[in-house]
């Protein structure tokens, strides 16, 4: 089963990237620093997606983002030639953009699809490890080969496929998810996952949709993203723990750019207030 990894991202830009981390919105960064942080994080994420060696790596950028800047920026990853393609999403809400990214790869199982399965990864996951990606793709392949996966798989009239239905996800904070993967025969649509009138969390909606279609589901290790100052504070100790663990575990790949920016250059520390007596 051929897999693709899509890094889903906005093109980094001052005043657009990670604005909830800026001082104007209660954070620590200037708009320029917020952009620099996101660039460091995004480069680390892409490098780790490439080194996972678990499928062709694509970049899905926002429709209005500066394509020329993104291409120039991607020259800073360890192996720029490893990027299979850059494509733009569509104008619309987050559900529609995510759907477009998945359909661009999977073509709903039709001829001309770029892969049999896709794993979509956010660009703001400082502690993402290649092992997280390997685990997600491995579980997806196993689930797709089960009798249940084959039984509920969608197949077009003109294409027969031995790829069954399967879904995997990595949870993140506040009931969301930071990675999602599924096969080209999986009966799933993003509509209502991020935007629903009931206010249901994204991971809950994902579980409901998957369960209602009896799709085999796999959950991999949680990988938090960084949107608000609390998220950032939570990541600092993890980054330091990774630094130490990396001395003894060769499977760990450090997000060196993110560590350099947050810890070495900014000198950020997390703190916990002692309980009040």
Q: What are the tens digits of pLDDT across the range 21-69?
A: 999 999 999 999 999 999 999 999 999 999 999 999 999 999 999 999 9
Mean pLDDT value across residues 223-240: 95
Task: Pick the closest to residue 12 from 58, 84, 76 (CA basis).
Answer: 76
Mean pLDDT value across residues 94-122: 95
Integer-rounded Cα Rg, in Å, for the chain is: 19
The pLDDT value recorded for residue 159 is 58
- Asked if residue 127 is part of any domain, the answer here is yes
Query: How far is it, in rounded angstroms, from Cα 164 to Cα 144?
Result: 4
Structurally, the chain folds into a number of domains equal to 1
pTM score of the predicted model? 0.95
Residue 263 has pLDDT above 60, yes or no: yes
Residue 271 has pLDDT above 60, yes or no: yes
pLDDT tens column, 26-39: 999 999 999 999 99
CA 25 to chain CA centroid, Å, is 25
Q: Which residues contact 273 (CB under 8 A, 6 or more apart)?
A: none
Encoded tokens for 101: 């990214």
- Asked if residue 190 is part of any domain, the answer here is yes
The pLDDT value recorded for residue 156 is 67
- Asked if residue 79 is part of any domain, the answer here is yes
Residue 229: HSE in the Cβ half-sphere, 13 Å Cα cutoff: 14
- Asked if residue 247 is part of any domain, the answer here is no
Query: How far is it, in rounded angstroms, from Cα 149 to Cα 237?
Result: 39
The pLDDT value recorded for residue 39 is 98
- Asked if residue 264 is part of any domain, the answer here is no
Contact 100, 89 (CB under 8 A): yes
- Asked if residue 260 is part of any domain, the answer here is no
Residue 81 has pLDDT above 70, yes or no: yes
Task: Pick the closest to residue 209 from 192, 221, 184 (CA basis).
Answer: 192
Q: Which domain holds residue 89?
A: 3-225
Q: Give the CATH number for residue 206.
A: 3.90.550.10
- The sign one gets for the Cα dihedral 223, 69, 97, 151 is negative
- Asked if residue 246 is part of any domain, the answer here is no
The pLDDT value recorded for residue 180 is 98
Residue 237 has pLDDT above 90, yes or no: yes
Mean pLDDT value across residues 121-150: 97
- Asked if residue 33 is part of any domain, the answer here is yes
Residue 196 has pLDDT above 70, yes or no: yes
Task: Pick the closest to residue 106 from 216, 192, 3, 199 (CA basis).
Answer: 3
63: enclosing H helix or E strand: none
Neighbours of 95 (CB within 10 A): 18
What SS3 state is found at 121?
strand
């Amino acid at each position: 089963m051929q897999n693709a990894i899509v890094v889903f991202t906005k093109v980094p830009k001052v005043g657009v990237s990670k604005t909830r981390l800026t001082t104007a919105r209660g954070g620590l960064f200037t708009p320029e620093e917020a952009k620099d942080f996101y660039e460091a994080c995004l480069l680390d994420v892409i490098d780790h997606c490439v080194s996972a060696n678990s499928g062709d790596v694509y970049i899905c950028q926002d429709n209005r983002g500066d394509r020329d800047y993104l291409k120039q920026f991607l020259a800073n990853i360890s192996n720029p030639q490893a990027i299979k393609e850059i494509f733009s999403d569509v104008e619309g809400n987050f559900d529609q953009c995510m759907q477009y990214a998945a359909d661009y790869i999977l073509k709903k199982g039709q001829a001309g699809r770029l892969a049999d399965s896709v794993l979509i990864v956010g660009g703001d996951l400082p502690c993402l490890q290649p092992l997280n990606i390997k685990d997600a793709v491995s579980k997806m392949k196993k689930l797709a080969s089960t009798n249940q996966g084959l039984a509920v798989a969608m197949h077009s009239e003109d294409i027969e496929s031995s790829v069954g239905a399967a879904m995997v996800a990595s949870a993140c904070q506040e009931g969301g998810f930071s990675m999602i993967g599924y096969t080209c025969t999986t009966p799933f649509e993003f509509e209502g996952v991020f935007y629903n009138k009931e206010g249901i969390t994204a991971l809950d909606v994902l579980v409901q949709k998957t369960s209602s279609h009896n799709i085999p589901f796999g959950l991999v290790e949680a990988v938090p993203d960084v949107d608000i100052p609390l998220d950032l504070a939570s990541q600092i100790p993890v980054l330091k723990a990774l630094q130490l663990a990396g001395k003894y575990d060769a499977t760990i790949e450090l997000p060196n750019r993110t560590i350099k920016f947050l810890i070495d250059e900014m000198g950020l520390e997390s703190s916990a207030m002692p309980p009040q007596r």
